[in-house]
């Protein structure tokens, strides 16, 4: 009789255990499904938050980079214009130097011509004095006097031309000084623009590096956060908890 009772008690215990196992299995499946959905939900939230922050960061920095590129392009265009102006001014300056050289040669030739005319005039004046002292023919003296007067007119004309050429030389020298001053200013502007372009280029590269670094760091952080969520809500952990 005791054996039968013991068998029945064992069967009852087995029945209760089977029911408990079935309940645990149902609860385990439900927990596993809930855990998976929790992981998916947490992962989506983290990923969405990362994407939102990254896109906001990316847009702001891309706008800054765009503005810097536009500023850099503007400086480069100005630099090219200044370089063209510099080239034109150098050509103009060389032309002024060539004009000065030609004027100096012309003035030198006219000076030599004036010297020759004066020497000829001096000789004629000496000849006229000798003729007058010897009381030579008046007509001959008039001819010599006329030659002297003609030479004086030529000399006076040359002096006026030489004076005019000297004025042109002074004007050219003044223009060269102005061009040299403009060249110095252009050089300073060009150096300043090169420095600005270099600074913008460096900042542009720095921002690109920051975007890349932030992107890699954010992805790593998001991945770690998802992993943490997975560790907390895995089915294995839930089974362990149920067993406890």
DSSP assignment string, 101-163? HHHHHHHHHHHHHHHHHHHHHHHHHHHHHHHHHTT--HHHHHHHHHHHHHHHHHHHHHHHHHH
pLDDT value at residue 237: 44
Q: In the chain, what percentage of residues exceed pLDDT 90?
A: 19
Asked if residue 233 has pLDDT above 70, the reply is no
pLDDT value at residue 115: 93
- Report the predicted TM-score, pTM, of the whole model to 2 decimal places: 0.54
Where does the pLDDT of residue 54 fall: very low under 50, low under 70, confident under 90, or very high at 90 and above? low
pLDDT, average across residues 162-187: 90
Asked if residue 2 has pLDDT above 50, the reply is no
Q: What domains does the chain contain, in order, with CATH numbers? A: 2-243 (1.10.287)
Query: Angle 156-159-163 (CA atoms, 0-180°, nearest 5)?
Result: 145
pLDDT, average across residues 125-149: 83
Q: How far apart are CA 58 and CA 61, in angstroms?
A: 5
Asked if residue 196 has pLDDT above 50, the reply is yes
Unique residue bearing structure tokens 């270099």: 198
């Amino acid at each position: 009789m005791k054996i039968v009772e013991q068998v029945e008690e064992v069967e009852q215990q087995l029945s209760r255990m089977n029911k408990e196992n079935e309940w645990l299995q149902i609860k385990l499946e439900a927990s596993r499904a809930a855990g998976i959905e929790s992981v998916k939900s947490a992962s989506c939230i983290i990923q969405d938050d990362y994407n939102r922050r990254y896109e906001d960061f990316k847009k702001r920095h891309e706008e800054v980079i765009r503005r810097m590129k536009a500023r850099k392009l503007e400086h480069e265009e100005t630099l090219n214009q200044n370089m063209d102006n510099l080239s034109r001014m150098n050509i103009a300056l060389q032309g002024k130097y060539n004009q000065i050289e030609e004027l100096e040669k012309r003035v030198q030739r006219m000076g030599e011509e004036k010297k020759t005319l004066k020497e000829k005039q001096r000789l004629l004046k000496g000849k006229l004095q000798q003729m007058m002292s010897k009381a030579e023919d008046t007509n001959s003296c008039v001819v010599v006097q006329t030659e002297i007067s003609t030479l004086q007119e030529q000399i006076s004309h040359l002096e006026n031309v030489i004076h005019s050429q000297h004025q042109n030389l002074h004007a050219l020298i003044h223009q060269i000084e102005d061009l040299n001053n403009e060249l110095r200013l252009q050089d300073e502007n060009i150096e300043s623009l090169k420095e600005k372009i270099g600074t913008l280029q460096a900042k542009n590269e720095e921002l690109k590096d920051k975007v890349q670094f932030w992107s890699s760091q954010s992805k790593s952080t998001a991945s770690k956060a998802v992993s943490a969520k997975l560790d907390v809500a895995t089915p294995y952990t839930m089974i362990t908890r149920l067993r406890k």
